[in-house]
Structure 1
Amino acid sequence: MASSEHPAPAGAGGAAAGAAPVATRASRRSSGSAALREFRPEIQGLRALSVGVVVIYHLWPGALPGGFIGVDVFFVISGFLISGHLLGELRRTGKVAIGSFWARRIRRLLPASLLVLVVTLVATLIWVPLSNRADELVNIGASALYAINWVLANNAVDYLAQNNADSVVQQYWSLAVEEQFYVLWPLLLMGTVLVAGWVLRRRIDADSWKSLRPFVVGVLVLVFAASLIYSIYLTATRPGAAYFNTFVRAWEFAAGGLASVAVMWLADRRKLDRSSRGMRVVSAVVPWVGVALIAVSAYTFSGALPFPGIVAAIPVVGALLVLLVDPPASERFGLRTVSAFWPVKSIGKWSYSIYLWHWPIIVFFPLVFGVGIGIKAGIALGLLSIVVGALSSRFVEDPARYNRWWAAKRIRSYAFALGVPALIVAVIAANMTFIQQSIDEAANQATTQLEQPCYGANGILDQGACPDVFTATEPIDTAYASQDLDPNWCLVQLDNVWRNCTYGDPKGPNGTIAIVGDSHAAAMTPSFDEYFKTQGWRVVTYTRFGCPGLTTVPEQMVGKDAAEQIACTDWTKDVLADIESRDDIDVVAYTDWSRAYFTSDDPGQLQAFRDEIDANWSAVQASGKDVIFVRDVPGNSVGDVPTCLAGITVPAAAPCSNPRQKAIIDDTVLQAVAQNGDIPLVDTSQYFCTDETCMTFVGGVVTYADNNHMSNTYARSIAPHLGRDLTAAIESFGR
């Protein structure tokens, strides 16, 4: 998150005796804004606390599970300082010099952030495996364009991207939010000035603050209320997307803005005696209460909370309690005194650079050295983040911020803000083009090899003729493997209601088979398509991300939030009704990530799961359709398979494989198959497993495109074998 400096004090000239009334008005106008321009050490202490909890959270999430709230505190600080700066200028001049403001923001924020981004780009090209490199390049490009938060928000509702590891530029999401705030906030204030001038029927000038202030407060309250309501709503319905959404976070900036107006107002009234006993108690205690709220939030919150939503109000209030109280400097144990200590003050000053550098240091350490982060390594990385942050602040932030040549013409700042990101994006585009060409070539090569006797599943089913079918003898193209999923999957997304498609032989002279299930069913669809289009069968799909299509009871979708439970079960009801009403469907093949659903330690609950699944299958059977269940692909415990394979040294026998006893389990859905008694089970384990081991690399093909979905190439390689098994099951019904 961007660290917003205190604006430098404006100069104040003397006045001749005859101009005393004018000087008095100027004095009144500047008194409130001076309260914000005064350097306040406790704000540096607040920054030091915020960056500290974030760094600790990233190093040891279990030690400080709510450390992510440090970002929210920074948002409040930025709203307070930037609003104070803009409003101070507004009350002194009656306008905001937006162009100059943006140029100062560029000089303050972008030199350090773009330097870290360039270093991260180079490190990505050197150390990030090919299996993840394309995604990371996209993220770096989005960071350069100040839009990474929207990419991450989209990934949060993209089922396939939900299990992705944190990006190497994950920390830039909050910078993007702040940069968007810096663009929109002065425009909002100037819009307020225009509206106020229209309503008041007067030109807003340096003497208009008293009349203008209610409009400013009204707009800030409106932004605060609308954003908070939206935050609560989106956090409840789409929590992943809500976390990175700029409009969900706007209320935190507005809260800081309202605090800045309050501080100005209090300073203008000149009725508070800060030296009185009561005020000394307030100024000594209240900021520490704010610090306590932030600390308790960092220690007690976790990723299981619906965040941000209303829960974020606790650390936000904590930050406001620090910002609203302007204590005297004479307090011995006050927050201002503690914040003035060199270590606290320095970390606060360096907080922006520390935040920028700590994440790539943490992320690339395991990639470079091949080891995890323990206590000793974590302490070393934390100290290194502080040292590098201090150097970056001293030799990058400060020179760029105060350089007279750069500040002389705004065009230089704007050229930098546009030119360097453009260069970064150009480098990324060149690398993405190279990667995509390699992927396209690999895809074409895979298509030509599908019928080779030892390629893919052909090899595992004829191990006698293919003795090295599980051995990687040369480096694996993991860039292709990580992208080896059908980009046009016919899947209902998390935020959609209905979609189905037709595969196989569109005319279907011999019949129609429907596929029902989740994304694992969609990953298996190429097998159905490849085989049945040569057999005169039409294939129709009913597939939805994260939804097995087996239950109409929301509570039985264990592990899903309320919105997902309802969306999934409503879709399942529609699927059942559609299938039962269609006379053209002959066979319904169910398949899904069955081990991921219907889990419980209660035997009675498990039986309820089986009964409801069986009842839904029985309803389909009663409508004249035959039902088949295709066993899911074996489970995988090695994480993202292409990434795992990217780290092997060839030759490697059975790399990244899994013990069969863990990969093949008798889950609740399979038990429901047995309970029904009239549903053939088509077992896919023979295409992946020996008697003891289930493979992730078979016959030169990576079997999984991520940590659980079968790759498109492998699905096509099993097509003739799975097709024959499906045909046998269909023939068992007498069709």
Structure 2
Amino acid sequence: MASAGLPHLAPAYRPDIDGLRAIAVGAVVLHHAFPQAFPSGFVGVDIFFVISGYLISSIIIGQLQAGRFSFRDFYARRIRRIFPALLLVLVACLGTGWLMMTAAEFKALGRHVLAGTLFVSNFGFWQEANYFDESAIYKPLLHLWSLAIEEQFYIAWPLLLLVAYRWRALPWLIAGLLLASLVLNLWLVRTDTTAAFYNPAARFWEMMMGAGLAALQLRSGHPGAAWPRWLVHITSAAGLALLAFVFWRLTPAHAFPGKWALAATLGTTLLIAAGPQAWPNRILLAWRPMVWLGLISYPLYLWHWPLLSLAHIEVGRDLPTPLLLGLVGLSVVLATATYLGLERPIRRHGHRLGRPLVGVLTALMVAVAAAGGWVYQQSLKVDTLPALLTTLQTKGGRSAVAEGWRDGDCMLDYNLPPSAYKAHCVEERRPLIFLWGDSHAGSLYPGFKALQDSGRYSFGLGERTGAICPPILGHDPRPGCQALNDDTIALIRRTVPDVVVLYAWWHEKAVYGRYDISGLEATVAELRKAGVPRIVLLGAVPYWKENLPRILLRLSRQLDRRGRLPLRLGDDHLDPHVKQATAEMRQRAAAMGIEFISGMDYFCNAEGCLTRLDENATEPLSYDYGHLSVPAVTYYVEQIAPQILGQR
């Protein structure tokens, strides 16, 4: 979140800090617009956190030293600084959402607006986040999670500072909170990355880095005042180099925040500590264009993500580069207009209006909160859609995607231990068909279960699947996956299934980092050593560029004369890597001498890939980018059953 600058900086205004804001907001905006070209830009938020902790603590400690700190004045300044631009963006999102969004999307937007006005967005998105959560790009207010964490910090920190200052325990308070929060973060990064990201207690240490520096400087003097000049320059250069290293090496596949956020916040702290006279600070960070970008960083942060998100909702996941550049430019224009027309006048004259202005802004925020809550509670938009699209509007998310998967019993999240697998995941009946793989393998279970219940075939079912865990033995960047797979191969050695079916999103690379499937051949060799007589490798079913329901909802604006959606879609809507991955896996299976079945063969032809089983179907082929819906997986398993179980 672009840290909100304050009208009373202590000890003096530093243009280099605005330049540091420019680096942070520029990194975030470029990452959101061009994630492949700037994969590490999200760390800009952590830079903002340090700046916020430094500035806020400088102000409060300085006022405590002068004996003039006031909670009322502090929060009044926060309201004058934060509320105006936020109100403008929230109202704009509601208005645009009414025009552009489907009923379900608009309802979700109302919930997010309400959370944004209450500064609890981080908790809301934390609750929503899971492996099957809707893609982040379709949530126009997702970026408010960081603003929420900052405001939660501002609620607790002034009171804690006041108590610690009066008891002369300020160093102990800062050191204790920083260490406790950092330890919690490092632990959560290994056990629950979503909590590590959204939990304020696991992020406060980043603000404490800045707070600790502020306390030291206000005790010993201005930044770098007593330092040799060479040390000032080296400190700044070291901080800049550390930030550059993080930007160069960090990717979304790395565990975060953790040590990478620690490196980024340390680099930021060094840059601030070096002071405005350090050569990099004076020449680079205090450069006028950098300072200007820093001054508009807060409204720029607020505007850029809704513009990008709404464009993706309207156009699709793959936006052309010229459009992305135009959206970034429009973000800068809107941020500049917001700063010049709203923020700067209020900053200059807001204190004269005093309580009336604060009261008006608070009343407006309450009104927007009520509007968001009303949108969430009421069905304000009614869509006239075919039966299929009505289903897409009312049924979705994890409940639809994972229907009947035995999620939490036989398919585990990758951070759960193997002991969480239930005994009923492997039946004693023979022949035993054993499903091993990631969530895509888990999605096949309802189809095999329906086939088993039909009585057409007699067989037992075994399953060991793990979200984002391909069935590959050996090192995995997710330690939980390695533990699940090691336990699974041990179980296979004990039970010796008649058929092991291996399936995963073999070319996965967009969400959690590309799977390393180089160990597939070694895994197959281990299965043979275990005595498994047949090994079947499944290739991909149709994987789409974005969630299939979203593609269909967008196409609903272009229904044919009969009011029908296209039954098949061509390569322009498919994941561009799926056909190449299918060919590669077919070749590898042949080289290993194991059987291969391609799902593409059953759902695709020269005219394209099915979006649903037939014209009258009321459920799509999948509710996301590629996990088959229950009707689709039931059909698919019926088709491949003769190859796996023999002709009947």
Pick the TM interval, shorter chain: 0.7 to 0.9
Aligned equivalent of 2:589: 671
Q: CA deviation at 1:682?
A: 7.6
Contact 2:238/2:270 (8 A) holds in 1: yes
Q: CA deviation at 1:326?
A: 4.3
Distance 2:88 2:171 in 1: 38
Residues 562-571 or 78-87, more deviating? 562-571
Aligned equivalent of 2:622: 704
Partner-residue secondary structure (3-state), 1:159? coil
In the superposition, relative to structure 1, how do residues 668 and 578 fare at CA in structure 2: closer, same or farther (>3 Å)? farther
Aligned equivalent of 2:337: 391
Q: Which amino acid aligns with 2:146?
A: S
Aligned equivalent of 2:309: 363
Aligned equivalent of 1:654: 568
Distance 2:548 2:91 in 1: 29
How many correspondences in the alignment?
617
Aligned equivalent of 1:546: 467
Q: CA deviation at 1:7?
A: 5.1
Q: Which amino acid aligns with 1:117?
A: L
Aligned equivalent of 1:247: 201
Distance 1:320 1:144 in 2: 30
Partner-residue secondary structure (3-state), 2:604? coil
Aligned equivalent of 1:595: 506
Aligned equivalent of 1:643: 550
Distance 1:561 1:639 in 2: 25
Matches within 5 A, 1:454-473: none
In the superposition, relative to structure 1, how do residues 685 and 258 fare at CA in structure 2: closer, same or farther (>3 Å)? closer
Distance 2:245 2:103 in 1: 41
Distance 2:312 2:644 in 1: 48
The one of 356, 371, 381 aligned to 2:327? 381
Distance 2:570 2:193 in 1: 33
Per-residue CA deviations over 1:560-602 (Å, capped at 9, x if unaligned) read 424133332244257547857xxxxx97774632635998797
In the superposition, relative to structure 1, how do residues 690 and 663 fare at CA in structure 2: closer, same or farther (>3 Å)? farther
In the superposition, relative to structure 1, how do residues 261 and 610 fare at CA in structure 2: closer, same or farther (>3 Å)? same
**TM-score, reference length from structure 1:** 0.70
Contact 2:50/2:210 (8 A) holds in 1: yes
Per-residue CA deviations over 1:201-253 (Å, capped at 9, x if unaligned) read xxx4xxxxxxx44x111121122222333333433455565344433322221
Contact 2:440/2:505 (8 A) holds in 1: no
Aligned equivalent of 2:480: 564
Contact 2:439/2:466 (8 A) holds in 1: yes
Matched, 1:612 2:533: no
Aligned equivalent of 1:715: 633
Q: CA deviation at 1:727?
A: 7.7
Aligned equivalent of 2:44: 70
Aligned equivalent of 2:174: 220
Aligned equivalent of 2:96: 123
Partner-residue secondary structure (3-state), 2:444? helix
Contact 1:148/1:176 (8 A) holds in 2: yes
Distance 2:298 2:7 in 1: 16
Partner-residue secondary structure (3-state), 1:356? helix
In the superposition, relative to structure 1, how do residues 56 and 530 fare at CA in structure 2: closer, same or farther (>3 Å)? closer
Q: Which amino acid aligns with 1:231?
A: N
Per-residue CA deviations over 1:395-420 (Å, capped at 9, x if unaligned) read 33345551655635976665555442
- The CA RMSD over aligned residues, in Å, is 4.6
Per-residue CA deviations over 1:118-177 (Å, capped at 9, x if unaligned) read 322333343356786666665555444433334545666x22238654632232222122
Per-residue CA deviations over 1:95-115 (Å, capped at 9, x if unaligned) read x64455334323321332232
Matched, 1:170 2:142: yes
**Structure of higher CA gyration radius:** 1
In the superposition, relative to structure 1, how do residues 542 and 728 fare at CA in structure 2: closer, same or farther (>3 Å)? closer
The one of 411, 418, 443 aligned to 1:523? 443
In the superposition, relative to structure 1, how do residues 166 and 289 fare at CA in structure 2: closer, same or farther (>3 Å)? farther
Residues 233-242 or 420-429, more deviating? 233-242
Distance 2:434 2:241 in 1: 58
The one of 606, 610, 621 aligned to 1:695? 610
Query: For structure 1, which runs of at least 5 residues remain unmatched after alignment?
Result: 10-35, 194-203, 205-211, 447-474, 581-585, 622-626
Partner-residue secondary structure (3-state), 1:544? strand
Aligned equivalent of 2:8: 8
Query: For structure 2, which runs of at least 5 residues remain unmatched after alignment?
Result: 509-513, 561-565
Contact 1:614/1:676 (8 A) holds in 2: no
Per-residue CA deviations over 1:78-97 (Å, capped at 9, x if unaligned) read 00111122223333449x64
Residues 236-245 or 70-79, more deviating? 236-245
Q: CA deviation at 1:710?
A: 0.3
Identical-pair percentage: 25
Contact 1:628/1:682 (8 A) holds in 2: no
In the superposition, relative to structure 1, how do residues 299 and 314 fare at CA in structure 2: closer, same or farther (>3 Å)? same
In the superposition, relative to structure 1, how do residues 595 and 339 fare at CA in structure 2: closer, same or farther (>3 Å)? closer
Q: CA deviation at 1:427?
A: 1.0
Distance 2:255 2:644 in 1: 46
Matched, 1:52 2:26: yes
Aligned equivalent of 1:86: 60
Q: CA deviation at 1:75?
A: 0.8
In the superposition, relative to structure 1, how do residues 511 and 609 fare at CA in structure 2: closer, same or farther (>3 Å)? closer
Distance 1:674 1:299 in 2: 39
